[in-house]
Structure 1
């Protein structure tokens, strides 16, 4: 079984590298356009799109079938572009390509760094989420980014090496080993970037689109423990391989409040921020995550059938 798993992972990795070699043979804008076309042409027909339709139905039950399909098509267009852009990821960190990455309210981060302090930057799987460490690079923010270990070990190792080529951000795996790195960086007053929109089974239960959702409590825990601000950040794809990253006013822990209550409050505030941004640009969020429980989906199907 171990041999079969290793062979499968190797085959997946080879297929990925061939695809990226194909996209890498084109200029970045052309590669992004071709990736988007492939995504929106093939993606909605794939079985995994059922999960996206289910998630949209759970989150925004007021939407009709036509609107849901528009979001699905846009999501796959964005995802196809993002995959193609991995072949050109180092391009986005080059100073001469800075025009591809507009940063709004970057002064909030720069002023904090200039004062000798750090913070936590949170976002979700919007547009091309790999732009977040590129922003840190351009704005001179030292620190690290938290990543989820890919299921395929070959892909995981390749992604880490690629990200290290693009920015100076420390690569921090989720888990115990990563937690120790985060603590060290926070003590050194550095910045930590993380995506907090995925389900975390051992996380905190909070509301997300008015549904119960297990959510990472790490950002709130760090803010409460170290007193550093959390900067919610929204990544948008503007046109083709061009992006806008907007930094919002920080979420700050109240030093005189109960720490456990603060973690719950801040976690919910982060979820509310993510939900608001998703509602603004639902086609640019990755709806393929198992964000809510299967039990809730089954209950809604039964209610719909009875109606």
Structure 2
């Protein structure tokens, strides 16, 4: 075992110990504690300078005070997400079902009733871990695309946890998971994906008017394979209560030139993200390196 393996193992053990601690207070109290820590610690961290720069670049019309409000609220949400991770199983209990409201779910049910599947697309909004949980609770079998963790022990644990909670097939991002993704879609299943991270091998669309390297995979599947794309947003309401809103299917022009249509649909998806962020900017994860830094 190398020093790196030992480091990874210790990190995984520390993470599991922290989750045991986070579980002790119960969901509501844990969420509140996480929010309190996030609000008081997060804005003081050096990494937060990135969030301030990105907010100012995306929405230059905001004052410094408005940016600080967004940053503080963002950290409140992130702190809650961290502590809520130990309680994801609570959302499966019938007595806790009220915590997760789904708006627009009838769009997916009507599509599924016709014997069809598709992709449920969102960004890192609210508690983004709840998208596949909601898909499972609504009765949609399928998969979830994820970014593998650098730590192999943590990655293995996360895969097992998510699989146990949602019953969904865990699909790693990139070429490695492409086969599972295509198989599920051909079997008319649903696949959840967060598509708002910068992708070096993506195509250049725009977001807030800024060039943004974006994955072309959803648009390519829609244009070339007829895959249905349903955008969605996860919104924190109050405490550990959420609303997931599913929006109408993105229309694709089957007669258009494929490369141009893929770029257009990708831009539509970015426009969707931007609109949701503008509605509630504190609900998004501004620490992402979404754009090339200037």
TM-score, normalised on structure 1?
0.93
CA contact (8 A) 1:146 1:172 kept: yes
Q: How many angstroms apart in 1 are the aligned matches of 2:14 and 2:37? A: 16
SS in 1 for 2:2: helix
CA contact (8 A) 1:127 1:284 kept: yes
- Stretches of structure 2 that go unaligned for 5 or more consecutive residues are none
Moved more, 236-245 or 11-20: 11-20
Q: Deviations for 1:112-149, whole angstroms, at most 9, x for unmatched residues? A: 11110011110000000111111111211111110001
SS in 2 for 1:103: strand
User: Any residues of structure 2 matched to 1:100-139 within 5 Å, and which?
Assistant: 100-139=99-138
Which residue pairs with 1:302 in the alignment?
Answer: none
Q: How many angstroms apart in 2 are the aligned matches of 1:254 and 1:95? A: 42
CA contact (8 A) 1:186 1:226 kept: no
Q: Deviations for 1:191-240, whole angstroms, at most 9, x for unmatched residues? A: 11100100000001000110001001111011112212211101000011
Q: Deviations for 1:163-193, whole angstroms, at most 9, x for unmatched residues? A: 1111111110012220010111111111111
Q: CA deviation at 1:62?
A: 1.4
Which residue pairs with 1:301 in the alignment?
Answer: none
Which residue pairs with 1:26 in the alignment?
Answer: 25
- Stretches of structure 1 that go unaligned for 5 or more consecutive residues are 298-307
CA contact (8 A) 1:93 1:167 kept: no
Which residue pairs with 2:224 in the alignment?
Answer: 225
Matched, 1:242 2:252: no
Which residue pairs with 2:86 in the alignment?
Answer: 87
Which residue pairs with 1:96 in the alignment?
Answer: 95
Q: How many angstroms apart in 2 are the aligned matches of 1:154 and 1:57? A: 37
Moved more, 282-291 or 9-18: 9-18
CA contact (8 A) 1:223 1:252 kept: no
Large movers: runs of 4+ above 3 Å: none
Q: How many angstroms apart in 2 are the aligned matches of 1:23 and 1:113? A: 37
Moved more, 8-17 or 114-123: 8-17
Matched, 1:152 2:156: no
Q: How many angstroms apart in 2 are the aligned matches of 1:17 and 1:160? A: 14
User: Any residues of structure 2 matched to 1:39-50 within 5 Å, and which?
Assistant: 39-50=38-49
SS in 1 for 2:127: coil
Q: Deviations for 1:70-101, whole angstroms, at most 9, x for unmatched residues? A: 11111110001001011011111233321010
CA contact (8 A) 1:220 1:267 kept: yes
Q: How many angstroms apart in 2 are the aligned matches of 1:44 and 1:24? A: 25
Q: CA deviation at 1:241?
A: 0.6
Which residue pairs with 2:50 in the alignment?
Answer: 51
Which residue pairs with 1:304 in the alignment?
Answer: none
Q: How many angstroms apart in 1 are the aligned matches of 2:242 and 2:266? A: 26
Q: CA deviation at 1:14?
A: 2.5
Aligned length: 294
User: Any residues of structure 2 matched to 1:193-232 within 5 Å, and which?
Assistant: 193-232=192-231
Q: How many angstroms apart in 2 are the aligned matches of 1:61 and 1:151? A: 34
Q: How many angstroms apart in 1 are the aligned matches of 2:35 and 2:11? A: 21
Q: How many angstroms apart in 1 are the aligned matches of 2:95 and 2:225? A: 37
User: Any residues of structure 2 matched to 1:65-80 within 5 Å, and which?
Assistant: 65-80=64-79
Computed over aligned residues only, the root mean square deviation of the Cα atoms, in angstroms, reads 1.2
